[in-house]
Structures are given as C-alpha cells and as structure tokens.
C-alpha cells in the first residue's frame, strides 16, 4: 500500500477518535515530550496549535511558557506558501486565521529560524518505537528545511 493511501486511512482513523481519546493521547504525548532532554535543554521551541483532531501539544506550550522558554508557532503569510515563526506569549491571546487555525493576535513578533532549538510537528502515523512514519502534509519552506533535525523519535 502506498504512503498516500496509508495517510488517508490513518487520517480517517484519527477523525473517528472521540474527544476523550484525543485528550488522553495528547496527555501521553506531552508527558513523553516533557521527559525528553531536547525539550529540557531547548531555549526556543516551535510548536503547533492543533487543528481538528490532531494531538494537542497545548500542555507542552504552556509548560514551556511557564518555564521562561521562547515559544513560537507557524503562521502562513497571507497570499503565499511562505511560513514564518510567530512568537506565542500566552495561550489565551489568540484568534482564528483564514484557515480557522488558532494563531497569536497581531502585532506579530517574528522569530528567526536560526534561534529555534526544537520543532514539534504533527504526524499521523508512527512506528511502535515512536518514530514518525507518515507525516501530515506540510508546506515545506526555507524555514523548515533550515531547522530540520534528526530527532530520536522522529
């Protein structure tokens, strides 16, 4: 079976999850991230704001903010396929963008890609060892290519 077909099947399974299952899975993911040395050592973290039934890493972002880490999230620049990192200062100060995805309210503080120590991205399929097997389709930009790291669980 091709990865394209597998991705569609996995996305359908994800969409069938209950709110309780999404919440429980999100908590397990957060605990695993909290325990990892890369998270502990990172000064600047780029996360994502979950959409639909994606695993939420809001707990991770909240803990990072409380721990005086710089937190940023991706924002697609209107009218382009360019993605930039926008600083997130607090979880409650957000609005919905044109894709109905939570995003920090303007004015934005842009974070330089070179300063990001750790990037957390959603995936839809993982091996039994926690490695990402099927990624959610994302816009590949200079930002993500410059910051790509081989992580132990990625």
- Domain hosting 115: range is 3-147
Give the range among 1-5, 93-97, 107-111 with minimum mean pLDDT.
1-5
Q: Is residue 152 part of a domain?
A: no
Q: Is residue 132 part of a domain?
A: yes
User: Which of the two residues, 58 and 15, has the higher pLDDT score?
Assistant: 58
Q: Where are the beta strands (DSSP E) in the chain?
A: 44-46, 70-76, 83-87, 94-96, 102-104, 110-111, 118-119, 123-126, 132-135
Q: Is residue 154 part of a domain?
A: no
Q: Is residue 112 part of a domain?
A: yes
pLDDT of 47-90, one tens digit each?
A: 999 988 888 999 999 999 999 999 999 988 777 777 889 999 99
CA distance 122 to 127: 14
CA distance 11 to 3: 12
For the domain that residue 137 is a member of, what is the CATH number?
3.40.50.10420
Confidence of residue 139 (pLDDT cuts 50, 70, 90): very low
CA-based nearest residue to 26, from 72, 62, 68? 62
Classified as helix, coil or strand, 87 is strand
Q: What percent of the chain has pLDDT over 90?
A: 32
Q: Is residue 44 part of a domain?
A: yes
Q: How many domains does the chain have?
A: 1
Give pLDDT, residue 149: 46
Q: For 20-53, b where at least 16 C-beta lie within 10 A, e where not — what string?
A: eebeeebeebbeebeeeeebeebebbbbbbbeeb
């Amino acid at each position: 079976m091709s990865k394209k077909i597998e991705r569609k099947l996995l996305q359908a399974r994800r969409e069938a999850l209950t709110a309780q299952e999404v919440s429980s899975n999100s908590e397990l993911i957060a605990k695993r991230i909290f325990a990892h040395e890369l998270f502990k050592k990172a000064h600047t973290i780029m996360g994502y704001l979950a959409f639909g039934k994606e695993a939420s890493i809001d707990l991770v972002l909240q803990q990072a903010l409380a721990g005086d880490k710089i937190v940023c999230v991706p924002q697609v620049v209107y009218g382009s396929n360019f993605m930039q990192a926008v600083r997130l200062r607090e979880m409650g100060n957000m609005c919905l963008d044109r894709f109905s995805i939570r995003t920090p309210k303007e004015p934005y503080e842009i974070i330089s890609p070179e300063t990001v120590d750790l990037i957390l991205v959603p995936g839809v399929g993982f091996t039994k060892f926690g490695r990402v097997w099927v990624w959610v389709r994302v816009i590949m930009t200079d930002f993500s290519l410059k910051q790509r790291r081989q992580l132990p669980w990625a």
